[in-house]
Amino acid sequence: MQKRKLGKGNLEVSALGLGCMGMSFSYGPPKDKQEMIALIRAAVERGVTFFDTAEVYGPYINEELVGEALEPFRGQAVIATKFGWRIDPKVERGLAGLDSRPEQIRRVADASLKRLRVDAIDLFYQHRVDPEVPIEDVAGTVKDLIQQGKVKHFGLSEAGAQTIRRAHKVQPVAALQSEYSLWWREPEQATLPALEELGIGFVPFSPLGKGFLTGAINKDTQFDKSDFRSIVPRFSRENREANQAVVDLIAEFGRQKHATPAQIALAWILAQKPWMVPIPGTTKLHRLEEDLGALNVELTADDLRRLDEATSKINIQGDRYPENLQKMVGR
């Protein structure tokens, strides 16, 4: 398994990680726990060392799943989790608003340590920037947790470039996690240049466009009401039909390279920068193996240029979040 480093703090992980959210949350009803434990352990056997979860996924049950699955691999697996939400199980998806007050961060850290069955959280992200709490206070609180040995590395999720800079001055940021893929390239404008300048790693989530770039979703796909995509504008039936052009394009590149659309989409990210580690999620072993196959896909400079040129001509339709969640990104 190829390895990559996130940030300057010696955080080394497998070149592809595994996003575990969909095993318990957001993409339909939770999957069978024992099957998901087996899948996570199968990922470890194949060389994956980087696993992504959060307290809000479930809420709580995804951390418990990841903790149980990876307990036999302590010291071998790097677990990233997140704080920053006020959770109320009675509210839809448990998301009752943002909360990054220092006392809340400390509370979440202690609870996550128990659920994950670890002595220290490898990578602790602020899940969304809280406008009510100065980012310096957030970074300072995580710095204290690092000094106490409860956390090893600090991360941010969906933060804007200025916020990243402010946080980094207080406590070095190891990684930023944000959405990035062949159909969402907005981070290239201001975020990625800032990360490169500061020496911060980048962890693209939804590198397969929430499944769309695999080619397994089309205009006729029916989403369960518990599936987050059922309320995402980009996944409306008419937008899926319009956006099919980008999948067709990636599939054509795949045929030339004897690779699947998913493998092309992941190989494209891997070819951008050596400090990017995408975390595709899956609940199926054959998809995990397909994703790992992206590590063997070589895209030349000419391939990348042609992909850029072709995709730049396609106008992707629909916002990537409903309005209430869209307001929380890029702060």
Please give the structure tokens belonging to residue 235: 């996944």
Query: CB of 266 within 8 A of CB of 207?
Result: yes
Task: Give CA torsion, residues 329, 207, 196, 188, to 10 deg.
Answer: -60
Residue 323 CB contacts under 8 Å (≥ 6 apart), including other chains? none
* Mean pLDDT, residues 289-314: 95
**Mean pLDDT (whole number) for 71-88:** 96
pLDDT-above-90 percentage for the chain: 92
Q: Which positions ≥6 away from 6 have C-beta within 8 Å?
A: 12, 13, 123, 153, 174, 175, 200, 201, 202, 203, 275, 277
Instruction: Report how far residue 4's alpha carbon sits from residue 10's, in angstroms, rounded to the nearest whole number.
Output: 10
Contact assessment for residue 122 and residue 11, using Cβ atoms and an 8 Å cutoff: yes
Residue-level pLDDT at 39: 98
CB atoms closer than 10 angstroms to residue 185: 15
What pLDDT band is residue 281 in, cutting at 50, 70 and 90? very high
Q: Is the pLDDT of residue 323 over 90?
A: no
Q: What is the distance between the alpha carbons of residues 279 and 16, in angstroms, rounded to a whole number? A: 6
**Which phi and psi (to 5°) does residue 49 adopt?**
-120, 0
- pLDDT score of 72: 98
Q: What pLDDT score was predicted for residue 289?
A: 98
Structure tokens at 275: 């400090």
Q: How remote is the C-alpha of 203 from its chain's centroid?
A: 6
Active site residue 27: no
- What is the per-residue pLDDT for 81? 98
Domains located in the chain, CATH noted: 3-326 (3.20.20.100)
What is the biggest distance separating any 2 CA atoms in the chain, rounded to whole angstroms? 54
Of 179, 114, 173, the closest CA to residue 143 belongs to: 173
pLDDT at res. 239:
96
DSSP string, 165-210: HHHHHHS-EEEEEEE-BTTB-GGGTTHHHHHHHHT-EEEEESTTTT
57, 60, 125, 180: the active-site residue = 57
Containing H/E element for 254?
helix 237-257
Does residue 63 surpass a pLDDT of 90? yes
pLDDT band at residue 80, thresholds of 50, 70 and 90?
A: very high
Q: What is the DSSP letter of 22?
A: G
Return phi, psi of residue 15, to 5°: -65, -25
Mean pLDDT across the stretch 206-231?
Answer: 94
pLDDT tier, 326 (very low <50, low <70, confident <90, very high otherwise): confident
- For the cut 90, the answer to whether the pLDDT of residue 15 exceeds it is yes
**Angstrom distance (rounded) from CA 212 to CA 322:** 17
Q: Count of residues for the chain?
A: 331
Q: Residue 59: is the preceding peptide bond cis (ω within 30°)?
A: yes
Q: Which residue has the tokens 């899940």?
A: 127
Is the pLDDT at 315 greater than 90? The verdict is yes
3-state SS, 96-146, equals: EEECCCHHHHHHHHHHHHHHHCCCCEEEEEECCCCCCCCHHHHHHHHHHHH
